Copies of this chain bind each other. A is one copy, B any other.
Amino acid sequence: MKDSAIQVDGARLANELEELAAISDAEPPAVTRVLYTDADLRARAFLKKRCAAAGLAVREDALGNLFARWMGSTPQAPAIGTGSHTDAIPHSGRYDGTVGVLGGLEALRALRASGFQPRRSLELLMFTSEEPTRFGLGCVGSRALSGATDAKSLAELRDPEGQRLDDVRKAAGFGGDLAQVRLAPDYYAAFVELHIEQGPLLERESVPIGVVTAIAAPAALRVELEGAGGHAGGVLMPDRKDALCAAAEVVLAVEAAARATHGPDTVATTGVCKVHPGAINSIPNKVVLEIDIRDVALAPRDIALKAVKEAVAAVAAKRGIQARVTELNADPPATMAPAVVSAALKACKKRGYEARQMPSRAYHDSLYMARLFPTGMIFIPCRGGVSHRPDEFSSTDAIRMGVEVLAETLAELANT
Are A89 and B230 in contact, CB atoms less than 8 angstroms apart?
A: no
B-facing residues in A66-108 (Cβ within 8 Å)? 89-92, 96
B-facing residues in A253-277 (Cβ within 8 Å)? 255, 258-259, 264-277
Are B272 and A275 in contact, CB atoms less than 8 angstroms apart?
A: yes
Nearest 9 Cβ contacts at the A-B interface: A233-B362, A248-B248, A232-B269, A248-B251, A198-B234, A89-B279, A280-B290, A231-B387, A199-B234
State whether A90 and B277 are in contact (beta carbons under 8 Å apart), knowing that A229-B389, A269-B283 are contacts in the complex. Answer: yes
Q: Which residues of B contact A133 (CB under 8 A)?
A: 279
Interface stretch (choices A38-46, A111-119, A163-171, A237-245): A237-245
Are A237 and B258 in contact, CB atoms less than 8 angstroms apart?
A: yes
Indicate whether A285 reaches chain B with its CB closer than 8 angstroms.
yes
**Which residue of B92, B237, B264, B328 contacts A255 across the interface (Cβ within 8 Å)?**
B237
Indicate whether A220 reaches chain B with its CB closer than 8 angstroms.
yes
Complex alpha-carbon distance, A247 and B289, angstroms: 14
Are B230 and A242 in contact, CB atoms less than 8 angstroms apart?
A: no
Are B277 and A91 in contact, CB atoms less than 8 angstroms apart?
A: yes
Chain B nearest CB from A320 CB (Å) reads 14
State whether A362 and B234 are in contact (beta carbons under 8 Å apart), knowing that A271-B284, A277-B89, A280-B290 are contacts in the complex. Answer: yes
State whether A199 and B235 are in contact (beta carbons under 8 Å apart), knowing that A89-B282, A255-B242 are contacts in the complex. Answer: yes
Complex alpha-carbon distance, A230 and B248, angstroms: 21
Chain B nearest CB from A327 CB (Å) reads 13
State whether A281 and B237 are in contact (beta carbons under 8 Å apart), knowing that A252-B248, A269-B232, A273-B273 are contacts in the complex. Answer: no
State whether A233 and B273 are in contact (beta carbons under 8 Å apart), knowing that A131-B281, A252-B245, A255-B245 are contacts in the complex. Answer: no
State whether A218 and B245 are in contact (beta carbons under 8 Å apart), knowing that A280-B292, A281-B269 are contacts in the complex. Answer: no
State whether A278 and B272 are in contact (beta carbons under 8 Å apart), knowing that A248-B251, A362-B233, A388-B231 are contacts in the complex. Answer: yes
Indicate whether A29 reaches chain B with its CB closer than 8 angstroms.
no
Are B132 and A233 in contact, CB atoms less than 8 angstroms apart?
A: no
Q: Which residues of B contact A216 (CB under 8 A)?
A: 233
Indicate whether A236 reaches chain B with its CB closer than 8 angstroms.
yes
Are A271 and B267 in contact, CB atoms less than 8 angstroms apart?
A: no
| Highest count of chain B CB atoms <10 Å: which of A247, A281, A363 | A281
Indicate whether A291 reaches chain B with its CB closer than 8 angstroms.
yes
Chain B nearest CB from A42 CB (Å) reads 21
Complex alpha-carbon distance, A173 and B291, angstroms: 44
| Highest count of chain B CB atoms <10 Å: which of A231, A245, A264 | A231
Indicate whether A294 reaches chain B with its CB closer than 8 angstroms.
yes
Complex alpha-carbon distance, A267 and B239, angstroms: 11
Indicate whether A28 reaches chain B with its CB closer than 8 angstroms.
no
Q: Which residues of B contact A277 (CB under 8 A)?
A: 89-92, 271, 388
Indicate whether A186 reaches chain B with its CB closer than 8 angstroms.
no
Are A252 and B255 in contact, CB atoms less than 8 angstroms apart?
A: no
Indicate whether A365 reaches chain B with its CB closer than 8 angstroms.
no
B-facing residues in A271-327 (Cβ within 8 Å)? 271-285, 290-292, 294
Complex alpha-carbon distance, A66 and B301, angstroms: 60
